[in-house]
Chains A and B, each alone.
Chain A
Amino acid sequence: MSSFIQILIGGLLQGGVFAAVALGFSLVYRVTGVINLSQGAFCVLGAMAMYYFEVAFHWPTALAAVLSVLSVAAFGVAVGAATFVPAVARLPVSSTLVLTAGLLTFFEGVALIVWGNQPYALPPFSGQAPVAVGPLRIPTQGLWLAGGIAAMIAALWLLVNRTALGRALQACADNAMAARLMGIDTRRMMLLSFTLAAAIGATSGLLVAPITSLQFDSGGFFTTSGFIAVAIGGMGSFAGSIVGGLVLGIAEQFAAYYVSSLFANTLALLLLMFMLLWRPQGLFASGPVRRLDVRADSLVHRALVRLSGRRALAVGVTLLIVLVAIPQLPLPNDVLSSLTISLILFIAVLGLDVLMGWTGQVSLGQAGFMAVGGYAAAILSTTYEWPPLAGVLAAMAISVVCALALSMVTGRLRGHYLALATLTFGLLIDSLTVGLVDLTGGPSGLVGIPSFAVGAFEFDTTERMFYLALGLSAVLVLLLEGGMRSQFGRALQAVRSDQLAAAALGVNVGWIKVSALCISAALASLAGSLYAFNFHFLSPEMVATPRSFEMIAMLVLGGEGTLLGGLFGALVLTLLPTLVQSLALYKTATTGALLVATFLFMPEGLFGRFAIWLSRLGGAGRTRSSGAAIETTAQ
């Protein structure tokens, strides 16, 4: 019995932190209509600041805590004003969502640079000795945590309900247009909500850091948990966030105790999937549902990036010749192997482009399909000794089945919920790859994967793997280029830009989305299998959710809806850290920063820019108006 209560208390404490993160989500969502995926990173930043002020500089705890929250809030103002608020104003909601994933990656990268990759624990505020209540022993930090979070919730409630500022925030949440008419500066309110959320995150981070040790990438964990909490409770509902957080915390603690700590997360995610199916609006439905369509109509316009058939052929052939020649150059072996990795990832990014770039469906779970493909093929060819080729094909079939199952959930969801269902899928796969130790080898990974082979021909050298990946990506680009330049591709684009008008012309929107998801899953699966065969090894973090974010960065950096663009994104993000070893530490931060900057300053991406430049170069070949059209739409 007392262990039951002990677990319950543990669950409430953990749930308190989730609730605080969920509150941050809800606050920003209500004012801006966007889920800020970087929310969890503020916890880590808060704890990190606290570490420096308290442990390194030996300042008094109270002073250090206040300074930590203030400095994270200041950082939040700067980042919010430079990126988040402009993005909300001029990007489609789904792009802003992806941009916040970039911010999360950026913050994690910053923490990695400052903190390195070892875990840190802060000293408890008031000594190590726990308080004994009857047979129960409660760590004093638990009391600090519970009290701190309760105080924070009370303060937020007072701010929102009892002050003029709070009323202005409310007004923006209820009706932004009306708020503007009343003279409220909605951009400032957005920035304020972002900053407040940063402060909330920092506070809960420094309160929890003495209990749970944190490291640079713990932000992702907080974001996920807070997001599950908010999805259970109801997006945008303050009461829902708190209830959702507590429910999740308690459920996870009990699952960890009675089932297995490896599966705690799995159960939470299954709970979330179930919620998304049963009651997507959450337990506490909140106010009017805002801005939920796939991409806001007025914001969907984007550069018309089209190379004429002849130019596209010329670019493709040139690229292919260069790539074919590369292994013949005297290059260090690690350059060739990272080129191979770029090409393998490019295959998965191609799939993502079909889904996100062409069909407009944001997927935050592409690495999940890579994991399915990688593990299925690896397990079939090691444990069951299938020929690798058969393993790869079977893995693709399994991934497509997963995609079909996922689309039964997503088929009923739109906008944010859809993107978040894919995130949930990715996280679910993450937790399964870690948890199913017998099948996957668990956290330490799967070893002894053979080389890829077709019949008796083994791809057992870097050079052979390079040519395999190159050949496959060339064929895939050719096929997809054919598909995208014909009616199928036009149907995808029609769904991307205007589902209603597409349906009015007889396009079966649901079917189109499912096919795009299946194509993208199949390609990710193929890439995952090749990845496993290439390294002869596969571990969960090689194909975990940060990889999904990285592939989105590759796609956006290269150019959505350009097919070839992903290659450039993959090359930049894979090759640069190899070429300049000193950059490796900065890779995570750079990936995030590049994703954010591309969205804000070059939405058409590297290859899109190149294509527009190329079309303008020989504009005389086509009608004048088309050159001008390309120029104007590019702005």
Chain B
Amino acid sequence: MTPALDIRNVSRRFGGLLAVDDVSFSVAQGGLSALIGPNGAGKTTLFNCVTNLFPPTAGSVRFFGQPLARLDGHRIAELGLVRTFQTARVFPGMTVLENALCGAQMHVRTSPLAQMFRTPGARSEERRLRDKAEALLDLIGLTPFSDAAATDLPMGAQKNLEVVRALMSRPRMLLLDEPAAGLNDSETADLAALLTAIRDVGITIMVVEHNMSLVMGIADQVIVLDAGKCVAIGAPAAIQSDPKVINAYVGSDG
């Protein structure tokens, strides 16, 4: 079976700094992979390479077999590869519910004109999307705030909202950049349950995360980056005892 995401020899240079250095790995369809590594290891940069925000300076990325080189951001999203950002980027000036609805832009079938004229088709579509957004917000506990300004939410809740927004776009694969940052323990447990549920409905996930118990609990594959290089790939249990991984973390602490 073609892997959902296939990263081959990807490098990204910023001036003199090789932020991602010849990284190769793949994520199986339906898998839940975790990308870990100390601060500045290049995890976010790798996401940026995959989504062509900062295109790789070398190497190639394939998504379900399709090369992503030179595709615009929205074309990549249309293929079903949707990401969230490390610092939550909810849309200011919009409510929580409107933010969630924004995720469904790709799947709007009625034309702007039909929406202006409020045709029955447009209204039923709007109702359907609204129901779906409300259901997802409910799942993650944001219903009480659905009419609040999204930027008024605490950071953790904004990150959750970003996950909901991404889900509204019915992705084939989600790239989540530190979704648990700013969440307390019980909220993190809820997030873990949500992520496994998302995986169980068939959406492939790759997640950058610093919270080890979360990663080890839910991931089926762990990729460790250190100073731009991929130092280990494997099942959580194997990674935990890998001396190179321990070294990467201890080295960066000391």
Residues from chain B with Cβ under 8 Å of A633 in the complex = 93, 149, 151-152
C-alpha gap A447/B94 in the complex (Å) = 48
Q: A501-B89, A507-B106, A509-B74 are in contact. List 16 more A-B contacts (CB 8 A).
A: A302-B92, A304-B93, A480-B116, A482-B116, A486-B122, A487-B104, A489-B115, A490-B101, A493-B91, A498-B91, A500-B89, A502-B91, A505-B106, A623-B147, A630-B149, A632-B149
Chain B residue at minimum C-beta to C-beta distance from A358: B93
CB pair A490–B112 under 8 Å, yes or no, is: no
C-alpha gap A85/B169 in the complex (Å) = 42
C-alpha gap A482/B115 in the complex (Å) = 6
| Given known A479-B117, A483-B115, A626-B147, contact A507–B95 (CB-CB < 8 A) | no
26 contacts between A and B (CB under 8 A): A300-B93, A302-B93, A480-B116, A483-B116, A486-B126, A487-B126, A487-B129, A490-B102, A490-B105, A494-B91, A494-B94, A494-B102, A501-B85, A502-B105, A503-B73, A504-B74, A505-B82, A506-B77, A508-B74, A509-B74, A625-B144, A626-B145, A626-B147, A629-B147, A629-B152, A633-B151
Candidate in A489, A508, A515, A630 with the most chain B CB atoms within 10 angstroms: A508
Instruction: Verify if A257 is at the interface (C-beta below 8 Å from B).
Output: no
CB pair A497–B91 under 8 Å, yes or no, is: yes
Chain A residue at minimum C-beta to C-beta distance from B83: A504
CB pair A515–B112 under 8 Å, yes or no, is: yes
Give residues 94-126 of B contacting A (CB, 8 Å): 94-95, 98, 101-106, 108, 110, 112, 115-118, 122, 125-126
C-alpha gap A480/B74 in the complex (Å) = 25
| Given known A482-B118, A488-B112, contact A506–B105 (CB-CB < 8 A) | yes
| Given known A486-B122, A505-B82, contact A300–B94 (CB-CB < 8 A) | no
C-alpha gap A629/B103 in the complex (Å) = 22
Residues from chain A with Cβ under 8 Å of B77 in the complex = 503-506
Residues from chain B with Cβ under 8 Å of A622 in the complex = 147
Instruction: Verify if A351 is at the interface (C-beta below 8 Å from B).
Output: no
Chain B residue at minimum C-beta to C-beta distance from A295: B92
Chain B residue at minimum C-beta to C-beta distance from A487: B108
CB pair B112–A501 under 8 Å, yes or no, is: no
Nearest CB of A to B49, in Å? 14
Instruction: Verify if B172 is at the interface (C-beta below 8 Å from A).
Output: no
Instruction: Verify if A558 is at the interface (C-beta below 8 Å from B).
Output: no
Partner of B105, one of A507, A515, A629, A632: A507
Nearest CB of A to B91, in Å? 5
Which 8 pairs show the lowest CB-CB distances between chains A and B?
A506-B77, A503-B73, A506-B106, A629-B148, A483-B116, A626-B147, A488-B112, A486-B115
CB pair A505–B92 under 8 Å, yes or no, is: no
| Given known A304-B94, A561-B93, contact A479–B116 (CB-CB < 8 A) | yes
Nearest CB of A to B124, in Å? 12
Nearest CB of B to A480, in Å? 7
Residues of B within 8 A of A (CB): 51, 53, 72-74, 77-78, 82-83, 85, 89, 91-95, 98, 101-106, 108, 110, 112, 115-118, 122, 125-126, 129, 144-145, 147-149, 151-152, 165-166, 169
Candidate in B83, B94, B106, B108 with the most chain A CB atoms within 10 angstroms: B94
Chain B residue at minimum C-beta to C-beta distance from A479: B116
CB pair A623–B151 under 8 Å, yes or no, is: no
Chain A residue at minimum C-beta to C-beta distance from B53: A500
Residues from chain B with Cβ under 8 Å of A629 in the complex = 147-149, 152
Nearest CB of A to B9, in Å? 25
Instruction: Verify if A291 is at the interface (C-beta below 8 Å from B).
Output: no
C-alpha gap A491/B147 in the complex (Å) = 18
Chain B residue at minimum C-beta to C-beta distance from A622: B147
C-alpha gap A304/B99 in the complex (Å) = 13
C-alpha gap A504/B51 in the complex (Å) = 8
CB pair A304–B149 under 8 Å, yes or no, is: yes
Instruction: Verify if A301 is at the interface (C-beta below 8 Å from B).
Output: yes
C-alpha gap A488/B110 in the complex (Å) = 10
Residues from chain B with Cβ under 8 Å of A609 in the complex = none
Residues from chain A with Cβ under 8 Å of B151 in the complex = 301, 633
CB pair A482–B117 under 8 Å, yes or no, is: yes
Chain B residue at minimum C-beta to C-beta distance from A299: B92
Residues from chain A with Cβ under 8 Å of B145 in the complex = 623, 625-626
Partner of B74, one of A479, A507, A515, A630: A507
C-alpha gap A500/B94 in the complex (Å) = 16
CB pair B93–A490 under 8 Å, yes or no, is: no
Nearest CB of A to B34, in Å? 21
Residues from chain B with Cβ under 8 Å of A493 in the complex = 91, 93-94, 98, 102
C-alpha gap A568/B15 in the complex (Å) = 52
CB pair B152–A487 under 8 Å, yes or no, is: no
Give residues 276-315 of A contacting B (CB, 8 Å): 300-304, 306
Chain A residue at minimum C-beta to C-beta distance from B78: A506
Nearest CB of B to A445, in Å? 35
Give residues 223-255 of A contacting B (CB, 8 Å): none
Residues from chain A with Cβ under 8 Å of B129 in the complex = 487
Nearest CB of A to B133, in Å? 11
C-alpha gap A563/B205 in the complex (Å) = 41
Nearest CB of A to B59, in Å? 21
C-alpha gap A509/B102 in the complex (Å) = 13
Chain B residue at minimum C-beta to C-beta distance from A301: B92
C-alpha gap A494/B129 in the complex (Å) = 17
C-alpha gap A630/B89 in the complex (Å) = 19
Nearest CB of A to B161, in Å? 12
Residues from chain A with Cβ under 8 Å of B126 in the complex = 486-487
C-alpha gap A629/B83 in the complex (Å) = 27
CB pair B144–A623 under 8 Å, yes or no, is: yes
Chain A residue at minimum C-beta to C-beta distance from B107: A506
Residues from chain A with Cβ under 8 Å of B74 in the complex = 503-509
| Given known A486-B126, A500-B53, A504-B51, contact A494–B116 (CB-CB < 8 A) | no
Chain B residue at minimum C-beta to C-beta distance from A488: B112
Nearest CB of B to A505, in Å? 6
Chain B residue at minimum C-beta to C-beta distance from A308: B147
Nearest CB of A to B66, in Å? 15
CB pair B92–A497 under 8 Å, yes or no, is: yes
Chain A residue at minimum C-beta to C-beta distance from B125: A487
Chain B residue at minimum C-beta to C-beta distance from A305: B93
CB pair B93–A497 under 8 Å, yes or no, is: yes
Nearest CB of A to B216, in Å? 28
Residues from chain A with Cβ under 8 Å of B95 in the complex = 304, 306, 626
Nearest CB of B to A629, in Å? 4
Give residues 529-573 of A contacting B (CB, 8 Å): 561
Partner of A504, one of B82, B92, B108, B112: B82
Residues from chain B with Cβ under 8 Å of A561 in the complex = 93
Partner of A501, one of B91, B117, B147: B91
Residues from chain B with Cβ under 8 Å of A498 in the complex = 89, 91-92
Residues from chain B with Cβ under 8 Å of A482 in the complex = 115-118
Candidate in A304, A483, A502, A506 with the most chain B CB atoms within 10 angstroms: A506
Residues from chain A with Cβ under 8 Å of B112 in the complex = 483, 488, 515
